[in-house]
Structure 1
Amino acid sequence: MNLIARRVIVVLAVSLLSGCVTSPPRHINNVCDIFDEKDGWYEDAKKAQDKWGVSIPVIMSFMYQESRFQPKAKPPRTRILWIFPGPRLSSAYGFPQAKDDTWDWYKSKAGSWGADRDDFGDAADFVGWYNNMSHRRCNIALNDTYHLYLAYHEGQGGFNRRTFRNKSWLKKVAKKVSSRATTYQRQLAGCQKRLESDGWWFF
């Protein structure tokens, strides 16, 4: 095999591998742009909404906050002696930034044994499931994005103990998530009919 043929094979292999990597949407501030760019994401979010009663804008605003839709997002590493990389702050991973134990709990309770945190459909289902659990365990309305996010961050036990009470920074983040859900809801109202029409085969 000559040098040119080898180079062609390498280029093709790299292209195929890069095609398998899910990149984040280009315009994450507009939910219609996200769904237009990412084929199948609207259907996945709609499935989660129908299954768990948590709206698409709430699901999407959570994932915006947690990972900016980066499929393989991880917390930053700590530093040893301010120089050397140490362990990560937690085991949070993927679109929903779910920790290992929480993800295992979800797979067990929801029966989603093959679910992956870097799969958008699985992540959307997880966010819907977790918020539905917060609704039942913490008596939070399914459209109360602010308190749902506090429970998502602190855990349902922590929320019921009001561990967020003195965390002003967390309350500010929860307000941002709530505001983004409202923005996504307004945007979705302008494109949802078209999205459902485009995906009529799904319904």
Structure 2
Amino acid sequence: MSRPLSALIIVLLLASCGGGYKAPPRNLDNACSILAQRPKYKRAFRATQRKWGVPVHVQMAVIYQESKFRSDARTPHRYALGVIPMGRVSSAYGYSQALDGTWDEYKDAVGRRRAKRDDMRDAADFMGWYMTRSYERNGIALTDARNQYLAYHEGHTGYSRGSHRSKSWLLRVASQVEQRANTYSAQLRGCD
């Protein structure tokens, strides 16, 4: 085999092993580890905190709950008669699990027509925009991970109507988001 061909094969093999950021970081229970593995995430979260005022630990806790830091996260498929695929449960996609309509509203509102849900910078900015609106519409503090998550899950109108109050499973999940945010906050103080 010729040298140029051998070199090309080696380069292609190495490139195929690289993979980028499709896979989530290891050790999702440690905020410092996540940010050390993904410096781009750290820059994205800090930019969102500067622009919108949403703390890094709140962003991270909600992203953990929504996608476990998977850029290509989607909702499960629905099936008719248990076997015939009928599409997905919702249009939620990406790190932030933003729905198509809400994502389009965000892009129009902030003028970022090329924003992508599988890009952490865009997903974090979306989250900052959405949570700032939750503060403006429902008075939820940007540091209140529990209620921000409830408004994020139920929508601004659903939250203001109290739709979450009758969903014990959702209240339990929101408490877990709050606990994770508190854990991440304590960890981040030690790794900055």
Do these two structures clear the TM 0.5 threshold for a shared fold by scoring above it?
Answer: yes
Q: Which residue of 2 aligns with 1:30?
A: 30
C-alpha distance in structure 2 between counterparts of 1:4 and 1:86, whole Å: 51
- Aligned residue for 2:165, secondary structure, equals coil
After TM superposition, give the deviation of residue 68 of structure 1 in Å.
0.2
Q: Deviations over 1:110-140 (max 9, x none)?
A: 2222111101111111111111110001111
Task: Supply the distance in 2 between the matched residues of 1:33 and 1:21 (Cα, whole angstroms).
Answer: 17
CA RMSD of aligned residues (A): 2.0
Tell me what 2:143 maps to: 143
Structure 2 partner of 1:197:
none
> Cα distance 1:6–1:40, how it changes in 2: closer, same or farther (>3 A)?
same
Residues in 1 aligned to 2:17 and 2:78: alpha-carbon distance in whole angstroms:
29
CA distance in 2, matches of 1:4, 1:89: 51
Deviation per residue, 1:49-76 (Å, 9 max, x gap): 0100110000000000000000000001
SS of equivalent residue, structure 1 residue 113: coil
CA gap of 1:74–1:6, structure 2 versus 1, over 3 A, is farther
What is the aligned length? 191
Ranges in structure 2 where 5+ consecutive residues have no aligned partner: none
The equivalent residue for 2:115 is 115
Deviations 1:13-35 (A, max 9, x none): 35435535412101111000001
Secondary structure of 2:125 counterpart: helix
TM-score (norm 2): 0.92
Secondary structure at the aligned position of 2:85 is classed as strand
Number of the residue aligned with 1:160: 160
Q: Which runs of 5+ in 1 are unaligned?
A: 193-203
Give TM-score, length-normalised by structure 1: 0.87
For residue 79 of structure 1, give the secondary structure of its aligned residue in structure 2. strand
